[in-house]
């Protein structure tokens, strides 16, 4: 029994709602096997609480050492890769902030830059983030996986290069690919479960399943349950506040 959750992008409220929904769904099935929970990447950027999302996922992974809990697999998305690039090289700052990194800075207590900072200002912002980022968060980000395979399903963030064996796939494709993967059969032996390309509705195809419904923009987070029968979609929506 496998559950996979699409791109969270700093939406801690939606992540918590989805975790509760998955726990209730699994309990209702009356299964006794140990379930697997795969998160397909893009935990940070764009949404308001990247730090809170990372805290939650770190806690989940720590709890998963108990065999009665879900087995947790956390994959790396292109946004985590870009955040790590900025931590290594301040010159990546402008691209990251335009990419949604400003919200991540704010969530860690670092002021997002105004206008167009000079290079030395980016070095200072990088230094502040390095200081504010908990060591366990850095270890979490650096330790994210590129893929996970269970049965007939392969989980990656973005997709695969069609016609290329998994062991020969380029990590950049696994985190960034769109066009070729979305437009033609990949010819691998798995159904590829991915996020990265937001759509209004999840896509359930014969060789791929897309579970990114743009939670940061739509307020809808999507997951899929894979249990040997037809895939089952689970969705949660932001609660309305008046």
**Domains located in the chain, CATH noted:** 2-156+195-237 (3.60.21.10)
- pLDDT of 177: 97
The mean of the pLDDT values for the chain is 95
What gap in Å lies between CA 164 and CA 170, rounded to an integer?
A: 9
- pLDDT of 91: 95
- CA 163 from centroid of its chain's CA atoms: 25
Region 138-163 average pLDDT: 97
- pLDDT of 117: 82
Region class of 95: left (phi > 0), else alpha (psi between -120 and 50), else beta: alpha
Judge whether residue 241 has pLDDT over 80: no
What gap in Å lies between CA 40 and CA 5, rounded to an integer?
A: 6
What gap in Å lies between CA 91 and CA 1, rounded to an integer?
A: 43
List the beta bridge partners of residue 220.
237
Asked if residues 22 and 6 have their Cβ atoms less than 8 Å apart, the reply is no
């Amino acid at each position: 029994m496998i559950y996979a959750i699409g791109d969270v992008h700093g939406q801690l409220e939606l992540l918590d709602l989805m975790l509760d929904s998955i726990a209730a769904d699994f309990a209702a099935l009356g299964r006794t096997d140990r379930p697997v929970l795969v998160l397909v990447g893009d935990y940070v950027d764009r949404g308001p609480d990247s730090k809170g999302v990372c805290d939650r996922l770190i806690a989940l992974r720590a709890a998963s050492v108990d065999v009665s809990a879900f087995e947790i697999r956390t994959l790396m998305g292109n946004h985590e890769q870009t955040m790590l690039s900025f931590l290594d090289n301040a010159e990546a700052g402008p691209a990251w902030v335009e990419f949604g990194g400003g919200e991540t800075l704010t969530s860690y207590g670092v002021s997002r830059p105004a206008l167009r900072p000079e290079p030395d200002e980016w070095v200072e912002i990088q230094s502040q983030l390095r200081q504010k980022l908990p060591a366990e968060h850095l270890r979490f980000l650096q330790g994210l996986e590129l893929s996970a395979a269970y049965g007939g399903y392969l989980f990656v963030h973005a997709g695969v290069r069609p016609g290329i064996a998994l062991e020969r796939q380029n990590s950049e494709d696994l985190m960034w690919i769109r066009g070729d993967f979305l437009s033609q059969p990949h010819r691998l032996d798995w159904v590829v479960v991915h996020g990265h390309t937001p759509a209004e509705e999840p896509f359930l195809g014969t060789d791929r399943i897309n579970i990114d419904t743009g939670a940061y923009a739509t307020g809808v987070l999507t997951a899929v349950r894979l249990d040997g029968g037809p895939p089952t979609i689970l969705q949660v929506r932001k609660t309305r506040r008046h």
